[in-house]
């Protein structure tokens, strides 16, 4: 099969490797669509620790074509969203934290390839009416669904999302589906603001038109938002979220700040308002539930471009340059 291997930095190599064979409790899937994640970009920029050479890609969908011992043959032909790790369900992390942090997890192979081998448990059947392209959005959506699910959302809640990339858009959509009354999207790119409106945004803010703080004051009578989510990965914007939430407000970090980042926040204000700061990283316990959750969303404008396996380096560059919302790779051509 054809694969694209990351060699370090921005260097990739196309090559051929033997087709995978499923072991016990494993399946092989023909990869249909792979999302290009911000983590893939950060890996190539040296901002996320990873060791080359390896096959990247962890947001995948496909069709099961072979099964190993212990897996029913009836699974062949299933259309699936592919999780990147399994979980044991019995370790301390599974019992007290979440399944995506399993201490005994088995990783799936990288998805920038024509085929992938993964634990049968990690291949989740998708709804009959869902396209495989939409199913490939399961992984990023699950991270947002997990983070939002940990918030206590009061009646008549006002929530602000800063950043209209795919993580910000999913965060906004799930805030609305979890009961937020007024959802604000702050995003400089008009096309992203338009998609946010399709996903339930009640108020759109262009940072070029003025400080988000003034808009929030006007919306809330000066009290501040109940929830503010940072979906860019910039410490200064996390600090802005702390500024615009009210007393006992929640700040959620769904964007990934570079390792070693400091939070440039007024700690007196943080302490005085008794703000809760929540990190939101990973799929939590909700990956299996996410395909059904995203099937209810208007995602027609989220995928901005499609690339072949040979074009993976360009897809990662375009993603890093913020040229669209979500780019995907189609290993089958």
Question: What is the CATH number for 62?
Answer: 3.90.180.10
Same domain membership, residue 182 and residue 93: no
Same domain membership, residue 114 and residue 29: yes
**How far apart are alpha carbons 27 and 69 in whole angstroms?**
9
Same domain membership, residue 295 and residue 267: no
Same domain membership, residue 165 and residue 93: no
Return the pLDDT at 211.
97
Dihedral in degrees, nearest 10, Cα atoms 10, 31, 99, 128:
140
Query: 271 lies in which domain range?
Result: 151-279
- Classify 260 in phi/psi space as left (phi over 0), alpha (psi -120 to 50) or beta: left
Which residues 6+ apart lie within 8 Å of 196 measured at CB?
161, 164, 168, 169, 172, 185, 187, 204
Same domain membership, residue 192 and residue 104: no
Same domain membership, residue 137 and residue 7: yes
Element at 96 (helix H, strand E): helix 92-96
As a three-state string, the secondary structure of 23-49 is CCCEEEEEEEEEECCHHHHHHHCCCCC
Same domain membership, residue 108 and residue 87: yes
- The pTM of this model reads 0.95
Same domain membership, residue 246 and residue 206: yes
Which residues 6+ apart lie within 8 Å of 200 measured at CB?
172, 173, 176, 177, 183
Q: What CATH number is associated with residue 222?
A: 3.40.50.720
**How far apart are alpha carbons 29 and 126 in whole angstroms?**
14
Per-residue confidence in pLDDT tens, the chain, 333 aa: 999 999 999 999 999 999 999 999 999 999 999 999 988 998 999 888 899 999 999 999 999 999 999 999 999 999 999 999 999 999 999 999 999 999 999 999 999 999 999 999 999 999 999 999 999 999 999 999 999 999 999 999 999 999 999 999 999 999 999 999 999 999 999 999 999 999 999 999 999 999 999 999 999 999 999 999 999 999 999 999 999 999 999 999 999 888 889 999 999 999 999 999 999 999 999 999 999 999 999 999 999 999 999 999 999 999 999 889 999 999 997
Same domain membership, residue 295 and residue 269: no
Same domain membership, residue 297 and residue 265: no
Same domain membership, residue 6 and residue 122: yes
> What DSSP letter does each residue of 124-178 carry, written as one string?
EEPPTT--HHHHTTHHHHHHHHHHHHTS---TT-EEEEE--SHHHHHHHHHHHHT
Domain count, the chain: 2
Return the pLDDT at 93.
98
Reference 233, options 38, 28, 10; nearest CA is 38
Which residues 6+ apart lie within 8 Å of 271 measured at CB?
none
Return the pLDDT at 166.
96
- Classify 302 in phi/psi space as left (phi over 0), alpha (psi -120 to 50) or beta: alpha
Return the pLDDT at 231.
97
């Amino acid at each position: 099969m054809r694969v694209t291997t990351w060699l370090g930095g921005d260097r990739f190599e196309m090559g051929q490797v033997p087709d995978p064979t499923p072991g016990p409790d494993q399946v092989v899937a023909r990869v249909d669509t792979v999302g290009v994640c911000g983590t893939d970009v950060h890996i190539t920029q040296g901002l996320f620790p990873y060791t080359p050479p390896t096959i990247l890609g962890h947001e995948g969908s496909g069709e099961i074509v072979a099964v190993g011992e212990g897996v029913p043959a009836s699974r062949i032909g299933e259309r699936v969203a592919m999780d990147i790790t399994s979980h044991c369900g019995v370790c301390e992390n599974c019992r007290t934290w979440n399944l995506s942090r399993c201490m005994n997890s088995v990783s799936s192979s990288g998805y920038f390839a024509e085929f992938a081998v993964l634990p049968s448990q990690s291949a989740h059947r998708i709804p009959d009416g869902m396209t495989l392209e939409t199913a490939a959005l399961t992984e990023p959506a699950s991270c947002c669904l997990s983070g939002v699910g940990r918030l206590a959302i009061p009646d008549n809640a006002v929530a602000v999302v800063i950043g209209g990339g795919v993580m910000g858009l999913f965060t906004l959509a799930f805030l609305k589906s979890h009961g937020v009354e007024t959802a604000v999207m702050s995003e400089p790119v008009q096309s992203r603001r338009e998609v946010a409106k399709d996903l339930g945004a009640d108020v759109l803010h262009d940072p070029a038109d003025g400080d988000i703080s003034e808009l929030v004051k006007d919306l809330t009578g000066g009290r501040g938002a109940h929830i503010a989510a940072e979906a860019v990965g910039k410490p200064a914007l996390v600090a802005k979220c702390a500024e615009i939430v009210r007393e006992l407000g929640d700040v959620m970090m769904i964007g990934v700040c570079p390792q070693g980042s400091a939070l440039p926040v007024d700690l007196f204000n943080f302490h005085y308002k008794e703000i809760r700061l929540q990190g939101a990283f990973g799929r939590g316990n909700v990956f299996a539930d996410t395909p059904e959750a995203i099937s209810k969303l208007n995602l027609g404008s989220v995928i901005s471009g499609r690339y072949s396996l040979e074009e993976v380096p360009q897809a990662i560059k375009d993603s890093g340059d913020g040229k669209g919302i979500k780019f995907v790779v189609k290993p089958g051509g």
